[in-house]
Structure 1
Amino acid sequence: MQQVAFRQMKDGTREEYQFLDRLESAFNEGLVERLIKALENLDNSLSGYQVTRLEHSLQSAARAEADGADDDLIVGALLHDLGDELAPYNHSQLAAAIIRPYVRSQVTWIIHHHGLFQKVYYAHFFAEDPHERDRYKHHPWYQSCVDFCERYDQASFDPDYPTPSLEHFKPLLERVFSRTPFDPAVIGEAEAQGPVAE
């Protein structure tokens, strides 16, 4: 079989879906390479800063690594702005969706909310509320997101910071994205049943 016969999903057979599952599994083995290409694309993304979006991402991950963060948080820092090109108004949520099957739910929550939390640094310049993030003040991961933004995200626009190459982080990406997706032992029992509530 080279392709299925059905034209509507409801008409598919067991054999066709097993065939498609094998193709999907083979395709998913290239996920890390596709992530690397997406990160490389950030080198030609939003301009105006002293570093490219790729350099910002690498620097954020390097700061997390230097701070002794675990693999999950370093990957979160590396990929946190991956949605900038395709989802400029909800880039945080897109990046969180990418990492969600592979990292602990705390990191997914941080990445999901980092865009809102970053507004504390600039929202007042646009007559917006810089403390909008405080609606999550009682969330158990509030301070973790504050710390992520302060230590890694907002600080990583420095052209003089010793920033490693993307190749440096490839083994880390391979480790994290080779995990079984949605493994409760990794992401948490509650998250495995569905997204963690805000």
Structure 2
Amino acid sequence: MKKVNFTEMKNGTKEDYMFLDKLEKEYVGETADRILGFLSRMTSTLEGYKISRLEHSLQSATRAYKNKESEEMVVACLLHDIGDELAPLNHSEYAATVLKPYVSEKTHWIIEKHGEFQMYYYAHHLGADRFMREKYKEHKYYQATVDFCEKYDQCSFDPNYKSMSLKDFEPMVRNIFSRKPYSHY
């Protein structure tokens, strides 16, 4: 396989960068494949729960799908916890960053903030502030994030819930990640 000629970026030529740009565009086009592969391996994360992180994600996305949410929101539900594996202390921001080029400002904000909003359900048991989300009370997406947590996240830990399969969501993931990236925020 052809390689660039430089060992320091400052020495790269236009030909080098045109070559790399072509390869990068191909790589970006395969993002959905990598995401689906990553999701499929989320079967043994975070001990203690009754279900895997994959099942939690499938339940969340299934609930959104059955509630006739947009394809964008269904995929956001599916991916909202992908950061748990590599960024457990800021998983929401991680997931939001992955989604950001392909989703609206609203969906990005919901996913970015959902971790803080989820604390409403458990923080008081750990001596923390369950009302941390109140600092966003005046934000235009506050209620949408409360609703996301209530309808799709906090309720999706049920081993008896019948989820759709990852294969069912594959076309939606491919569609979202084949979009022209948003540039308005």
TM-score (norm 2): 0.97
Matched residue, 1:161: 161
Show the 5 A alignment for 1:180-195. Answer: 180-182=180-182, 184=183, 189=184, 191=185
Q: Deviations over 1:18-46 (max 9, x none)?
A: 10011111122221111011111211111
Q: Does 1:101 align with 2:113?
A: no
Q: Deviations over 1:83-106 (max 9, x none)?
A: 001000000000000000001110
RMSD across aligned C-alpha pairs, in angstroms?
1.0
SS in 2 for 1:5: coil
Matched residue, 1:25: 25
Matched residue, 1:118: 118
Q: Report the alpha carbon displacement of residue 66 of structure 1 after superposing the two structures with TM.
A: 0.7
Q: Could you tell which deviates more after superposition, 44-53 or 164-173?
A: 44-53
Matched residue, 2:140: 140
Matched residue, 1:178: 178
Matched residue, 2:128: 128
Matched residue, 2:47: 47
Q: Does 1:64 align with 2:50?
A: no
**Matched residues in 2 for 1:120 and 1:73: separation?**
21
State the one-letter code of the partner of 1:3: K
**Matched residues in 2 for 1:149 and 1:45: separation?**
20
**Matched residues in 1 for 2:71 and 2:10: separation?**
40
**Matched residues in 2 for 1:126 and 1:160: separation?**
27
SS in 2 for 1:42: coil
Q: Report the alpha carbon displacement of residue 69 of structure 1 after superposing the two structures with TM.
A: 0.5
* Structure 1 stretches of 4+ moved >4 Å: none
Matched residue, 1:88: 88
Q: Report the alpha carbon displacement of residue 47 of structure 1 after superposing the two structures with TM.
A: 2.1
**Matched residues in 2 for 1:90 and 1:78: separation?**
17
Q: How many residues are aligned here?
A: 185
